[in-house]
Structure 1
Amino acid sequence: MEIEDLVQAAREAQEHAHVPYSEYRVGAALETEDGTVFTGCNIENANYSNSLHAEEVALSQAIATGHRGFARLAVSSSKRDGVTPCGMCRQTLAEFCREGFPIVCDGEEGYEKYTLGELLPNTITREHLE
């Protein structure tokens, strides 16, 4: 899949967002190593701590169907402001993705590319818990 197609899938996922409080739509498109794409959108809840983030929704769907290898992630917001995954989503991604995992963030004039390691250096890993 071309990177533009993955970004477009993230943009389309925003359409399904439930954002009655922030009105800030976020969509994510996660590509697995075999080329399957899972999308997610943010789902807000009046109890903010129960809200779901687009990245974790996409990752959860992929995990629930047996995928464990991931190629890259695209994230887009309705404001096209170059939104990056939040710290919680970065840590969740780090459970399943390597430090060099590419993350593409949709902006008004194109997109920025990061690696998970750039966005979350010194990640908490399984080795820290042993």
Structure 2
Amino acid sequence: MKDLIKIAMEYKEKAYVPYSNFRVGAAVRFDSGNIYGGCNIENVSFGATNCAERTAIFSGVKEGEKVISEIAIVADSEELIAPCGICRQVIVEFCSKDSKIILAKNEEEYIIKTIEEIMPGAFTKDFLK
């Protein structure tokens, strides 16, 4: 788990945040064991901004990954931050009920959440049946 937090911290340093100056890094371990990282990438048209969590998840999905084992998220904050609503929905799409969501300040200060804890009552593909 600490390896994932360390990778997320490294990706945080790569964030492109000329507007908010709020860097976020994420690292996702998929069930295959492969890890993909991501950072937030801002755009002057704020709707075109992409969060670190989605950048990391989409990097894995484009390589054929489908199930998140765990995801670590770090930010330029004194407080632990949780994913935004859009990122939570994307995490729901690719996680299992056992996936771990790690909210971290650093390798020593973190908490672990489940998807049910951060997205209770989530809209899933089960609703489309």
TM-score range, shorter chain: over 0.9
Alignment of 1:56-67 (within 5 A): 56-67=54-65
Contact 2:67 2:96 (8 Å CA) reproduced: no
Q: 2:92 aligns to what SS in structure 1?
A: helix
Contact 1:6 1:29 (8 Å CA) reproduced: yes
69, 72, 77: which one pairs with 2:70? Answer: 72
Alignment-derived partner of residue 84 in structure 2: 86
How far does the alpha carbon of each residue in 1:80-129 deviate from its partner, in whole angstroms, 9 at most, with x for none? 52111111101111111123321011136600110111000001011223
Point out where structure 2 has 5 or more consecutive residues left out of the alignment: none
Alignment of 1:37-116 (within 5 A): 37-107=35-105, 110-116=109-115
Point out where structure 1 has 5 or more consecutive residues left out of the alignment: none
Q: Structure 2: which amino acid aligns with 1:7?
A: I
Alignment-derived partner of residue 121 in structure 1: 120
Contact 1:100 1:117 (8 Å CA) reproduced: no
Paired with 1:69 and 1:106, the residues of 2 have a C-alpha distance of: 21
Q: 2:83 aligns to what SS in structure 1?
A: coil
Alignment-derived partner of residue 32 in structure 2: 34
Alignment of 1:2-41 (within 5 A): 3-41=1-39
Aligned length in residues: 128
Paired with 1:99 and 1:89, the residues of 2 have a C-alpha distance of: 16
- Aligned identity (percent) is 34
Q: 2:113 aligns to what SS in structure 1?
A: strand
